[in-house]
């Protein structure tokens, strides 16, 4: 396979922009070696921050502050401790040995050992996409700190030189600037890729001008007409909102200016059309998206901030999906063993009104949405969608995930629900919809569980789906032995109205979750609201929110999901799948052998490592801010004396 660097003759309309970014990053990584060796590690305090060196025209930015420090902190996390636990370590060591064995098969092609590759990053890693003013294509920049004391660097560099010479078909040239910096460069399809190393830092770019400007800022020289990224108002606003509760430097951060990318990528004949459409639907108001991850903050194992920066006043899609802040409490039917819980709410009337405005503007016609609803839905179901259905929906939407027992490959069950303002009126309308669905054949069966009406996909419809699958396999000459597994995972929709909520599940074991929810509603199962772990996460969420009201929240208890994975790997179903997969694949066979020689322990022996997490979203004048956190392990909780 030959690598290819995109050229200036390629346009953003005819090639995937991010494919270009990825391939350029690969070249930059390989080209680390095409510069003279320099000893010593860089001290970040002796140079300006990367945000001071990159231009304000940076439209995408991903940064790991210190790779080795990040890995060190992660090794002390709950998952890091699990990996080192003597009950799990033999299996993971064996799997790592299998990975190294698999890598050895391609080692000669790659040219360096897996250990050498692991040893390369030592500090900061930053990748940036830059759209210079008046440019028609993006430029890319990679900044990496390397361990210059390791012999691994030299071995990888030597291999890199060889690959560039062979694949690029161009000689690597070098030159020294007036600043004493030695540059290495090579041409690929008419485009120059240029690099330098200074004080242990490798910097490479697809743009010679951007690389020169980077050095000028580093040397303290002013770059005319372009300020640094640290003075980009969008970037600064987002990073300030993602700074955390204390003066802690984030371990990782990212920033994207999506609308600038879209507009610049569509320069030319289509530009007026694109700009009109973006303005009509309100996407011009999306100023930027960014976030940061902070490890070991107070009593949290990790805290992740995210921010969507929006213009004011908002219009179009961002006016349409306006979230409603409220005091969210788990629904009374939600069981304590829920693995994942997310909830938010919208203003339905505002959503429909803004949707209508946007479509009318784009179509240059009034009442397009109402006409479409009347012609396509109202006549089909014999109801007025707005008056008979949407009018009875409050706007609150909840998603939940639960693990059904006995454990099988289809044990994960998802549930969606809508809060109802008038359950009786909604039920009356929904009965009419079911009648329309069943007018030709009985597709949905009505049932009852503990006095609650339910609906589920009929056996006849399921058999029809399986028969179509058999026919397709037969036409393709495929084996039908796997149809039993397909039958297990085939979606079997189930619906119910429980209290003030309309429950919908489209999983293969849908009715089991709905019946479990009804059991909880009737007091036969513990609700999530009474669960101690949930209450602990909820208290911390309330403290972080202070006086804010969330417009959405989430809760996860990974113990349930990982218990499912542990038990699934031991099941006969999983073993059968692994055996079939290993028949002609030595790598899968090696993995299977490791699981047989080092079986996973009982989950109860390691469940202490799986701690719950929470998160919420709030709305303010700058947009939407998201915060997610992972709780510390039991030992850390005790040592911190946290009684919240």
Summarize pLDDT for 588-610 with one digit per residue, the tens: 888 888 888 988 899 999 999 99
Asked whether residue 341 falls in the same domain as residue 446, the answer is yes
233 has a pLDDT exceeding 90: yes
345 has a pLDDT exceeding 90: yes
pLDDT of residue 504: 97
- Dump pLDDT digits (tens) for 275-314: 777 887 888 899 999 999 998 777 788 999 999 999 988 8
The answer to whether the CB of 292 falls within 8 A of the CB of 244 is: yes
374 has a pLDDT exceeding 90: no
Token output for 89: 């370590």
Greater pLDDT, 546 or 423: 423
Under the banding of pLDDT at 50, 70 and 90, the label for residue 644 is very low
pLDDT of residue 449: 96
Rounded CA-CA distance 398/341 in Å is 7
Asked whether residue 404 falls in the same domain as residue 503, the answer is yes
* Domain final residue pick, 231, 251, 274: 231
370 has a pLDDT exceeding 90: no
554 is a domain residue? yes
Asked whether residue 366 falls in the same domain as residue 499, the answer is yes
CATH code at 61? Answer: 3.40.1000.20
249 is a domain residue? no
Of 6-15, 38-47, 414-423, minimum mean pLDDT range: 6-15
Asked whether residue 417 falls in the same domain as residue 540, the answer is yes
Asked whether residue 334 falls in the same domain as residue 441, the answer is yes
The answer to whether the CB of 498 falls within 8 A of the CB of 452 is: yes
- Dump pLDDT digits (tens) for 117-157: 777 777 899 999 999 887 778 899 999 988 777 677 677 76
Q: What is the mean pLDDT of the chain?
A: 83
Ramachandran sector of residue 469 (left: φ over 0; alpha: ψ -120 to 50; beta: rest): alpha
C-alpha torsion sign, points 207, 210, 215, 218 = negative
462 is a domain residue? no
Torsion of CA 265, 269, 272, 278, to 10 degrees: -40
Average pLDDT on 353-373 reads 84
Give Dmax over CA atoms of the chain in angstroms: 85
Asked whether residue 387 falls in the same domain as residue 536, the answer is yes
Domain carrying residue 176: 17-74+117-231
Rounded CA-CA distance 621/92 in Å is 48
* Domain final residue pick, 231, 261, 287: 231
Rounded CA-CA distance 280/316 in Å is 7
Asked whether residue 163 falls in the same domain as residue 56, the answer is yes
Asked whether residue 121 falls in the same domain as residue 222, the answer is yes
Count the domains in the chain. Answer: 2
Under the banding of pLDDT at 50, 70 and 90, the label for residue 3 is very low
* Residue the block writes with tokens 């069966």: 445
Task: Report cis status (omega within 30 of 0) of the bond before 313.
Answer: yes
3-state secondary structure of 58: strand
User: Considering the entire predicted model, what is its pTM?
Assistant: 0.83
Rounded CA-CA distance 255/62 in Å is 7
- Our measurement of the distance from residue 402's CA atom to the centroid of its chain's CA atoms, rounded to an integer in Å, reads 21
283 is a domain residue? no
21 has a pLDDT exceeding 70: no
Asked whether residue 506 falls in the same domain as residue 382, the answer is yes
* Residue the block writes with tokens 């701690």: 611
The answer to whether the CB of 345 falls within 8 A of the CB of 396 is: yes
221 is a domain residue? yes
161 has a pLDDT exceeding 80: no
pLDDT of residue 246: 64
pLDDT of residue 553: 95
463 is a domain residue? no
Torsion of CA 66, 70, 71, 72, to 10 degrees: 100
Average pLDDT on 193-199 reads 86
The answer to whether the CB of 568 falls within 8 A of the CB of 410 is: no
pLDDT of residue 344: 95
Task: Report cis status (omega within 30 of 0) of the bond before 64.
Answer: no
Question: In this structure, how many other beta carbons lie within 10 angstroms of the beta carbon of residue 591?
Answer: 19
Rounded CA-CA distance 622/144 in Å is 33
466 is a domain residue? no
pLDDT of residue 482: 58
The answer to whether the CB of 517 falls within 8 A of the CB of 511 is: no
- Our measurement of the distance from residue 262's CA atom to the centroid of its chain's CA atoms, rounded to an integer in Å, reads 21
Task: Report cis status (omega within 30 of 0) of the bond before 96.
Answer: no
94 is a domain residue? no
Token output for 535: 């209450």
| 205: phi then psi, degrees, rounded to nearest 5 | -150, 155
6 has a pLDDT exceeding 50: no
Under the banding of pLDDT at 50, 70 and 90, the label for residue 638 is very low
């Amino acid at each position: 396979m030959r690598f290819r660097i995109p050229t200036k003759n390629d346009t953003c309309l005819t090639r995937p922009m991010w494919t270009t970014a990825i391939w350029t990053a690969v070249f930059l990584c390989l080209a680390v070696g095409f510069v003279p060796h320099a000893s010593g590690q860089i001290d970040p305090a002796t140079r300006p921050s990367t945000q001071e060196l990159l231009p304000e025209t940076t439209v995408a930015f991903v940064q790991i502050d210190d790779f080795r420090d990040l890995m060190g902190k992660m090794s002390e996390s709950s998952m890091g401790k699990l990996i080192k636990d003597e009950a799990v370590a033999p299996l993971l060591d064996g799997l790592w040995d299998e990975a190294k064995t698999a890598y050895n098969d391609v080692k000669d092609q790659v040219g360096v050992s897996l250990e050498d590759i692991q040893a390369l990053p030592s500090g900061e890693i930053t990748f940036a996409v830059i759209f210079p003013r008046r440019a028609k294509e993006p430029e890319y920049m990679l900044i990496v700190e390397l361990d210059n004391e390791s012999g691994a660097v030299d071995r990888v560099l030597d291999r890199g030189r060889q690959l560039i010479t062979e694949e690029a078909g161009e000689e690597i040239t070098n030159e020294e600037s007036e600043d004493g910096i030695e540059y290495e460069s090579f041409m690929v399809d008419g485009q120059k890729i240029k690099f330098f190393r200074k004080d242990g830092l490798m910097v490479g770019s697809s743009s010679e001008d951007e690389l020169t400007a980077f050095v000028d800022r580093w040397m303290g020289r002013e770059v005319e007409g372009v300020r640094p990224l640290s003075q980009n108002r969008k970037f600064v606003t987002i990073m300030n909102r993602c700074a955390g509760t204390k003066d802690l430097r984030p371990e990782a951060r990212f920033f994207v200016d999506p609308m600038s990318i879209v507009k610049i990528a569509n320069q030319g004949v289509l530009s007026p059309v694109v700009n009109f459409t973006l303005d009509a639907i309100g996407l011009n108001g999306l100023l930027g998206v960014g976030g940061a991850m902070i490890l070991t903050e107070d009593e949290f194992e990790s805290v992740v901030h995210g921010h969507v920066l929006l213009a004011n006043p908002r219009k179009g899609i961002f006016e349409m999906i306006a979230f409603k802040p409220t005091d969210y409490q788990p629904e009374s039917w939600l069981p304590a063993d829920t693995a994942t819980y997310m909830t938010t709410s919208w203003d339905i009337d505002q959503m429909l009104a803004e949707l209508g405005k946007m479509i009318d503007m784009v179509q240059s016609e009034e009442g397009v949405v109402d006409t479409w609803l009347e012609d396509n839905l109202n006549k089909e179901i014999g109801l007025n969608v707005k008056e008979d259905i949407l009018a009875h929906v409050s706007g609150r939407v909840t998603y939940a995930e639960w693990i059904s027992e006995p454990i099988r490959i289809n044990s994960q069950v998802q549930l969606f629900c809508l809060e109802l303002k008038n359950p009786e009126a909604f039920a009356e309308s929904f009965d009419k919809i079911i009648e329309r669905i069943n007018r030709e054949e009985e597709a949905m069966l009505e049932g009852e569980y503990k006095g609650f009406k339910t609906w589920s996909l009929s056996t006849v419809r399921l058999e029809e789906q399986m028969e179509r699958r058999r026919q397709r396999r037969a036409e393709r000459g495929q084996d039908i032995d796997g149809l039993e597994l397909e039958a297990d995972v085939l979606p079997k929709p189930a619906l119910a109205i429980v209290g003030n909520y309309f429950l919908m599940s489209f999983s293969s074991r849908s009715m089991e979750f709905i019946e479990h929810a009804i059991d909880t509603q009737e007091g036969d199962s513990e609700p999530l609201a009474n669960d101690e772990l949930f209450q602990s996460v909820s208290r911390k969420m309330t403290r972080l929110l202070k006086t804010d009201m969330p417009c959405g929240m989430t809760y996860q208890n990974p113990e349930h999901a990982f218990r499912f994975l542990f038990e699934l790997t031991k099941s006969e179903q999983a073993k059968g799948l692994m055996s079939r997969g290993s028949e002609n694949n030595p790598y899968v066979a090696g993995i299977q052998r490791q699981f047989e020689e080092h079986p996973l322990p009982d989950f109860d022996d390691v469940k202490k490592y799986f701690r719950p997490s929470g998160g919420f979203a709030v709305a303010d004048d700058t947009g939407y801010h998201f915060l997610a956190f992972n709780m510390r392990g039991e030992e850390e909780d005790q040592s911190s004396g946290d009684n919240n």
